[in-house]
Amino acid sequence: MINKIDVARPFVGEEEAAVVREVLLSGQYTSGKRVRAFEEAFARWNGSQYAVAVSTGTAALHIALEGLGVGPGDEVIVPPLTFFATVSSVLYLRAVPVFADIDPDDLCLYPASVAEKITPRTRAVLPVHLFGAPARMDELLALAEKHGLLVLEDCAQAHGTEFGGRKVGSLGQAGAFSFFATKHMTTGEGGMITTDDPNLADLARRLRSHGMAGRDSHEHLAYNNRMTEMGGAMGLIQLAKLDELNDRRIAHSEYILDRIQDLEWARLPRPRHACKHTYFWCPVIVRPESGRSAEQLKAHLQAQGIGFRHRYAEPLYRQPVIRKLHPEAAEQHLPVVESVAGRVIGLPNHPGLGREELDRVVEAVRSF
């Protein structure tokens, strides 16, 4: 029986356990001094003026979009290859997601396709830095400036990713991060909004907590989306480890990708622009013209005891909820995403892998 190599797992140890225990025994569970300390440390680390901690990455997207003033009927340009939460945050505000195509090399929003989708109703662009690769922020920011659009970066898969020497989440008007268990760092569940705008930071703090402006004054309709104090304590420890965890994640991904780049059936998506890629996924695309399928690769990896990721099998505009709410969007055909969706497999690249395990991953892929 061969040991299975997991595709991902959280990297949490005694230090996190100790601080969470300390908070549990203190009886102070709601957002407090530890969450504030985590916010300050995260803002500093990310090169942003402010950071506002929330309950999930989805809440971070929703609150940031609402705080930026996106509302009913506004069009928000989104990529069709991402986790659905990117789009549900737009739908919750009764705004309209408008899908643009993706770049075949970085799999993020393709600026020329975004330009084609801009209308007088466009209010914002929501690039996702997918799998740890940054979207082409220079071109997207230039487009946004030309047309007076807001830019919210979905950084849920890109903690520490850089474009032009700056961390993502510090480039647009706001960034949204997720601390779900298998992300680059975790607080169990959790999220963070980053921004340089003091008014947005202030509004986001109210929107995460019942829309309260004072102890008994509710100015906005809003849920409770606060981060727990346990999450804040855990986040501080995880943030201190993040750069090292990322270094290992990057080294492991490059080790694998360098050794499989000659395979004819495989296409390795890599950004053409200079950047720091933090490889949330170590992605391999099964070329459509190879006659092979992602399903076959999955079966092969499974038989070898190699974990994998396989998500976003169809462009998001085909999801049943989009068909229901925006049936016209479901009818479109964006050529690049249609040729990629369902064909991307993520290989194990997490920071805990040893050389022997990395070699097993390489061998398994090469023997496909």
Ligand X SMILES: Cc1ncc(COP(=O)(O)O)c(C=O)c1O
CA distances to 62, 112, 233, 269, 357 from 116, in Å: 25, 7, 45, 24, 45
User: Least CB distance from residue 26 to ligand X, whole Å?
Assistant: 26
Is 183 designated active site?
A: yes
Neighbours of 191 (CB within 10 A): 30
The number of C-alpha atoms within 13 Å of 166 and in the hemisphere containing its C-beta is 14
User: Which one of 43-51, 52-60, 206-214, 325-333 is the stretch in contact with ligand X (CB under 6 A)?
Assistant: 52-60
The residue (of 170 and 364) whose beta carbon lies closer to ligand X is 170
Residue closer to ligand X (CB basis): 177 or 364: 177
Among 53, 68, 85, 118, binds ligand X (CB under 6 A): 85
Residue positions counted in the chain: 368
**157 near ligand X, rule: CB under 6 A:** yes
C-alpha radius of gyration, the chain, whole number = 20
Among 31, 46, 86, 349, binds ligand X (CB under 6 A): 86
Alpha-helical regions (H) of 47-177? 57-67, 85-92, 111-117, 137-147
Rounded to whole angstroms, how far apart are CA atoms 92 and 290?
Answer: 40
Q: Among 11, 16, 57, 167, which residue sits at the site for ligand X (rule: CB under 6 A)? A: 57
Regarding beta strands 282-286 and 275-276, do their DSSP bridges make them parallel or antiparallel, or are they unpaired? unpaired
d(Cα 255, Cα 150) in Å, to the nearest integer?
38
Among 48, 56, 113, 225, binds ligand X (CB under 6 A): 56
Select from 31, 46, 48, 58 the one that contacts ligand X (CB under 6 A).
58
Residue 340 binding ligand X, by CB under 6 A: no
The CA distances from residue 175 to 62, 75, 325, in Å, are 11, 18, 26
Q: How far is the CB of 158 from ligand X (least distance, A)?
A: 8
CA distance 43 to 192: 9
| Residue of minimal Cβ distance to ligand X | 57
Which sign, positive or negative, has the C-alpha torsion 225, 129, 131, 34? negative
From 31, 46, 48, 82, residue interacting with ligand X (rule: CB under 6 A): 82
> On the CB side of 100, how many CA atoms lie within 13 Å of its CA?
27
Determine, following the binding rule CB under 6 A, whether residue 133 of this chain makes contact with ligand X.
no
Q: Is 154 in the site for ligand X (CB under 6 A)?
A: yes
CA 137/CA 146 separation, integer angstroms: 14
Query: Judged by CB under 6 A, does residue 156 bind ligand X?
Result: yes
CB nearer to ligand X: give 266 or 349: 349
Judged by CB under 6 A, the residue of 102, 128, 236, 242 near ligand X is 128
d(CA 163, CA 196): 17
- Options 149-157, 233-241, 288-296, 355-363: segment touching ligand X (CB under 6 A): 149-157
Query: Closest separation between CB of residue 299 and ligand X, Å?
Result: 25
Q: Which two tokens stand for residue 361?
A: 């991953």
Q: Does 178 bind ligand X (CB under 6 A)?
A: yes
What is the Cα–Cα distance from 220 to 69, expressed in whole angstroms?
Answer: 13
Measured CA to CA, the distance from residue 227 to residue 177 in angstroms comes to 13
> Closest separation between CB of residue 80 and ligand X, Å?
12
Judged by CB under 6 A, the chain residues 259 through 288 that form the site for ligand X are: none
Q: How far is the CB of 61 from ligand X (least distance, A)?
A: 6
CB nearer to ligand X: give 46 or 178. Answer: 178
By CB under 6 A, is residue 194 in contact with ligand X? no
Quote the tokens at residue 113.
Answer: 């396709």
Q: Which of 163, 180, 281, 312 binds ligand X (CB under 6 A)?
A: 180
Enter the tokens of residue 293: 């399928």
Choose the catalytic residue: 117, 183, 276, 324. 183
With respect to ligand X, which residue has the nearer C-beta, 86 or 349?
Answer: 86
Enumerate binding residues for ligand X (CB under 6 A).
56-58, 82-83, 85-86, 128, 154, 156-157, 178, 180, 191
The catalytic residues are 183
